[in-house]
Each structure stands twice: as structure tokens, then as C-alpha cells.
Chain A
């Protein structure tokens, strides 16, 4: 068993492509991927303003909107048509349009209308900009109410106020929401591609399917799990800390148990697939493009509630789906193992089924 365990590591260090996939990729991606989200939250989204009222009140409103951190005023335009053109050519994410008669309406005790238009080209950026402007307008509304009250008595105060708090990702950063999940897809893909490449290479050299004893198979499984576990510790222990993502919400022991099941299911799938490939480069050709669908299937970005049921069942066949649920839950949301009993069971079943088929494929007596 230990001979097989050591043979895996010797093969990795002797093969540049495998070493790049298994050792290089986790390091490179740990730097590359979070850098895309190093902005974390949307600030300074470009906004244009069309002030048709040209009054002290409207100028005050524009000044307040421009002062919010989410937006940056890039132009004052003369007509809504011009604003439309700015949005269409993607020079602005949102437009504030103040119609004529805005200040008169407020002075007469009616509602002053303001129109906010976000660009559909970038839903996240425009909705963040609209939220920021909306908050700024709320403070304008309070002062306008005060102004009106001096002349016409109190306006109807909003009886209820909505306060929104983030439950888990308290930084509300985009990277902090995405990368803690992506990291486990990287672990999965790194192990899958690196080890199947090695196995296919060995099979090519041998000219026949590889056959091992059950003890040697255990050694291979242990080696695969060790590599995956080191990668999980690298991401969950060091990279999340270094990037200051929400982490370590659950007790260490529970995180390790969850990680061990994810690692076992991944290693079992990898060993199964490793027994299928006959050409060294084939796993890379066919496996690299699967990463993006795997991430979307995991349900982190697109909620399971909006996913068709057959797609949900299919997604449960991949260790990444329950794996992300457990690991993001334990690491970022501070759940306990009991909260993820379903996903943990899912991982255990995958480990048993994939592992069983892999054992049979690797140890069945050679047909002549």
C-alpha cells in the first residue's frame, strides 16, 4: 500500500504537466482568481444626471446622490434622450432624471417625482448604483418633509422602516461570495485532471489497463485524498485568511470531517475516471471545460429554488455540489454538521458508489 502511495508522488514530481496541475494550479489560482474581485464591492459606478427642473431643490438632490460612494457623476445632460444614448453606449451604468416641476410639487405639498434608470447591460453594477442613490434620496426626502411641514403640517411618516443585514458574508463582497465556493471546484478539477493524466500516461506506457491489488488501490486512494486534503487546507486555512474572506465559522473538527468526506468522494470519482482514459492528453481536452458548469450546478450563484428538478438531481452526481454546500456552510455560514446531513449523506453515497466501481475496475483480473 505504501509503495503505491509513494509511487504516486514520485510520478507527480517526475511529470511537469502533472506537477503544474496538482501543485502549481492551486497556487496560481489562489492569486489569480481573487484578483478579479479585488474591488469586492461596487464603487464609483458611472452615473449621468438629467436635471430638467434646474431648481435649488433639484441641485441639492443631485449633490446628495453624487456624494454616495457607489456612484460617480460623469455628466449632466440636457435631455432623457441623451441619457439613453449614454446608457446604450455603456458609458454610464445609471441615470437620474428629475422632471420639470419637481421643486414646485414639493413646495405645494405634493410628491416630487424622480426617475432612476439602471442599465440592463450590467445588472449588478446598475442595481448597486440604484440602491446607493435611493439611500441618498431618502435623506433628501426627510429634509423635504421638514420643509413642507413648516408650511402645510406634517406629512405621513413612513410607519415601517426596512433594515437589511447580511447573515453570513458580512463583508458583502462579491469575491467573498464566490471564491470560497470556486476554491473547491479548483481542488476537484486539479485532482481530476492531474491524476487522470498520470494514470493515462502510465497506461499508455504499459500498453494495457493498469491492474493493482486491493492494498495498492488503497494506497492510490490515500495518495489522492492526501493531495486533495492538502489543497483544501491551503485554500480554507491560508488563502481565505490571506484574502480576509469569511472563514472558520464552524469548529475545526467539524470542518475537517466535512472536508474529509468531500475529499473522499472526489478521490473516488477521480480514481474511477482515471481507469477509463487511454491517452495522456485526453483528460485535459475533455475535462477542463467542465469547471464552469460544475460551479453553476453547485447552486452557489444560481439558487436551487430556481433550478429545474432534473438538473438538481443531475448536479447531485458530482462531489462539487454537496461538497460546496457543506464546505461553504461550515466555513462561511457557521453551520454544524447536523445542518448538512443530506449533503454529507450525498457525499458518502458518492464515495461508496464511485469507490466501489473504481475498486472493481482497478483490481479485476486481467482479461487475456
Chain B
């Protein structure tokens, strides 16, 4: 038989198996759908709004009322409680009723008139996304309150013509993601993070199952049939990759700055690399259960190591090495360059090189080990 015939026969054999086995089919169908939809739904608010905040108003002054009104008006915050002391506010923060505490200390008004007023913001740093939103909004509130105070109060006590604007005006903005939405950043990465793990589980199962059930005897694989079997899973997950991209870029409107072709090539290269790793794990352990456990260890924490949310530049040497051998890290780089910043194609396509390398150094020995095991009956049926 020709390569194409063996490839096609193996592809059809796998499809026929999946048609008979609903739980194996679930890994390609409803499980990715449910998990991706859940993440997408949870993060669909995108920009965090209306986080509950407690105001500790020790002063009951025009200033504290002004701050309270501004908190209500801020997009990221909502004034949930006004309490007279810190003890009550801390208890609210502990129980999760508020995400932050704004303290207007005694004599704040008097000190503000002297130009040394202080407002203290206590944020719950255990919740990082919420605390950064609140810090940004509070900084804007204080700047606005200062601008008003400069006009109303200080102008009133200073000689005319002596009040000037502050000497330095800083304007901050975020390029490529103007609303600083976390939906685009998180969902665009969480979806492939889920998909690559499900893909690896499906491929490890597909190859491990043949050894476990000793069906390799009847299948008698070679390079072409290994490729044909893996191709079915690559195809199915490419459909999911296109689907989640269409959801976020089309339906949610986070348009791709670069092109969809490069992103899809990235998906293809990532899945090829994970197929190689899967084959290598099955080839080494020759046991489905152990290779699945190792899959969890290898691909389960990819999201933490990808460096997309928290940079791994300062992490230990081991962490940097571990990040480099995870295909997801390289895919996340490609995604940031192609989807978010719209880098030139030659720059954005660079991560395809390490992805190809990982595919090569895992698939070749993986296929060799797997084919060897497929010819040794003593390697079959192990649990």
C-alpha cells in the first residue's frame, strides 16, 4: 500500500472507533465545547466593573462626600459600605464583601488645604486583577479631586495670577488594547491552553489504547498510519482553534491585528508539537495510565509558564527552561505578536521555528519507540 492509502486507512479506522466510543469522542466534542464556553462566559464582562469598595469616613466632611460620589461614578468601583472605622472595614474585606478600603483620615480636609492631605487605599492584593483595576480608578479620582481643589480652594487663598497648572502632565495609554480589557488577553490564551491539554489527552489515549488493548496486533502501524491516526485529532482540534478564534475575533470583536492565516499555522505547529510529545510519552511508558498522568504534569501547568500573563524573565533557570520546552509558550508568543500587536509577519512567525524543533525531537524518537513497542507483545496490555 502507498503512504497515502495507509494514512487514509488509519484515519478512517480511528474515526470508526470514535463513532463507537462516545466517551473517547467526548474529548473532541462536548468537553472542549463546555470548558471553552464556560471560560468565555465567565470572562465575557471583559473590563472589570463595579467592584465593591468600603469607605472609612472618619471625618464626615465635604471632602469625604466628594470622594464617595467619585467612587460611585468610577467605572471599576461601587461604594458598597460607608463605615466609621477601620476595624469594621477590615472585617468586610476579609469576608469578601469588599475588594478595597478607602480611608479618609481625621483632619483630611485641613491637611488638604495645607497641601499635604493623604487618602489611603487598602487593596486586597490576594485578588490581583481586581486590585489593579481599583488602583487605576482611585489614582484617577484623586487626580480629579486635586484638580478641583486647585481651582476652588487654593485659588481662593492665593493672590490672583499665581496659580499655575502642575509642572508635569503625564498621559498614560495602553497600545493595541485601548480599553485594557482582560477578556482579549485571558480568553485568547485560556482557550488554546484548554485545547492543547485536551488534544494531548486525546492523542495519548488514542496511541496508548492500542497498546493497552493489544489492538496494535491487528492495526500493525507504521509511520504513515501513525500520522493518519494523529491527523484526525489535529484536524478536530484545528476546527476548535478556528472556532474559538472566530468567537473572540468575530463575535466578541477583538479583531486580529495580524492575519488569521498565521494564527492558524501557529495552531497547526503547536498541535504537531504536542502530538510528538504525546507519542514520546506513550513510547517511553508504554502504559496509558502513566502517560496520561505525565501529560497532566507536563501540560497541566503550561498556562503559568507561558509568560503571557506573568513574565518568566525573572524566574529561576529551571522555570525558564521548562517554559521553553512547552510548545504552548511559543504559541502564546506567536499569538501576542499576530493577534494583539500585529507585528510584521517575519517577526510574528519566528516562534514557528522552536515549535518545529520540538516536533522533530519528540516525534522521531517517539515514533521509533512506539513502533518498537507495537511489535513486542510483552509491551501490550500493561496497565
Q: Which A residues are closer than 8 A to B by beta carbons?
A: 16-17, 20-21, 25, 28-29, 32-33, 35-40, 42-45, 84, 87-90, 106, 109-127, 130, 134, 137, 140-141, 144-145, 147-148, 152-170, 172, 174, 177-178, 180, 193, 197, 201, 279-282, 284-286, 288-293, 296-297, 300-308, 310-311, 314, 325, 328-329, 332-336, 339-340
Contacts and interface: CB of A to CB of B under 8 A. Distances in A.
Given A36-B323, A111-B169, A113-B169, 12 more contacts: A35-B318, A88-B342, A112-B167, A117-B174, A156-B150, A164-B120, A164-B138, A178-B304, A302-B42, A306-B45, A310-B41, A335-B95
A284 B291 CA distance: 10
Contacts, number: 391
A200 to B, nearest CB: 10
Contact of B177 (A123, A154, A280, A292): A123
Nearest to B184: A120
B48 interface: yes
A71 to B, nearest CB: 12
B101 interface: yes
Contacts of B201: 284-285, 288-289
Contacts of B342: 88
A106 to B, nearest CB: 5
A155 B337 contact: no
A164 B121 contact: yes
Interface residues of B, number: 130
A23 B177 CA distance: 43
Contacts of A180: 126
Nearest to B314: A39
Contacts of B90: 167
23 contacts: A17-B290, A20-B290, A29-B297, A39-B311, A39-B315, A89-B341, A113-B171, A114-B171, A120-B177, A120-B180, A160-B142, A166-B122, A167-B124, A281-B205, A281-B292, A284-B296, A285-B201, A292-B193, A296-B190, A302-B182, A311-B42, A328-B126, A340-B96
B264 to A, nearest CB: 19
B163 A156 contact: yes
A288 B197 contact: yes
A106 B169 CA distance: 10
Interface string B139-151: 1001001100110
B58 interface: no
Contacts of A288: 197, 201, 292, 295-296, 300
Contact of B314 (A43, A154, A282): A43
A156 B166 contact: yes
Nearest to B305: A36
A168 B197 contact: no
B315 A38 contact: yes
B126 A308 contact: no
Interface string B338-356: 0011111001000000000
Contacts of B120: 162-165
Contact of A160 (B93, B131, B146, B287): B146
Contacts of A45: 311
Contacts of A137: 168, 170
A159 B135 CA distance: 19
B164 interface: yes
Looking at B125, B158, B201, B337, the one whose CB has the most chain A CB atoms below 10 A away is B125
Ranked nearest first, the 9 interchain pairs of A and B with the lowest CB-CB distance are A120-B177, A39-B314, A120-B176, A335-B94, A169-B125, A157-B115, A166-B125, A141-B168, A339-B95
Contacts of B178: 120
Contact of A37 (B91, B177, B304): B304
A305 B126 contact: no
A75 B1 CA distance: 59
A170 B125 CA distance: 7
A140 B170 CA distance: 11
B288 interface: yes
Contact of B313 (A44, A170, A300): A44
B340 A17 contact: no
Given A120-B177, A281-B212, A21 B293 contact: yes
A155 B145 contact: no
Looking at B117, B164, B208, B312, the one whose CB has the most chain A CB atoms below 10 A away is B164
A116 B48 CA distance: 23
Contacts of B304: 33, 36-37, 178
A306 B38 CA distance: 14
A356 to B, nearest CB: 26
A87 B383 contact: no
A164 B90 CA distance: 15
Interface stretch (B23-31, B225-233, B235-243, B369-377): B23-31
B172 A118 contact: yes
Given A114-B169, A281-B288, A301-B129, A161 B116 contact: yes
A279 B315 CA distance: 40
Contacts of A303: 48, 51, 99, 127, 129-130
Contacts of A120: 174-178, 180, 184-185, 340-341
Given A16-B290, A303-B99, A303-B127, A160 B145 contact: yes
Contacts of A197: 289
Contact of B112 (A160, A168, A308): A160
B26 A286 contact: yes
A141 B130 contact: no
B308 interface: yes
Nearest to A146: B167
B119 to A, nearest CB: 5
A165 B122 contact: yes
Contacts of B308: 122
A25 B154 CA distance: 63
A115 B44 CA distance: 31
Contact of A297 (B38, B162, B176): B38
A245 B165 CA distance: 44
A339 B94 CA distance: 7
A38 B322 CA distance: 13
A304 B208 CA distance: 40
B357 interface: no
Given A116-B172, A284-B201, A333-B126, A289 B337 contact: no
Given A38-B319, A155-B164, A311-B41, A280 B289 contact: yes
Contact of A325 (B96, B119, B293): B96
A157 B290 CA distance: 66
Contact of A126 (B174, B194, B288, B303): B174
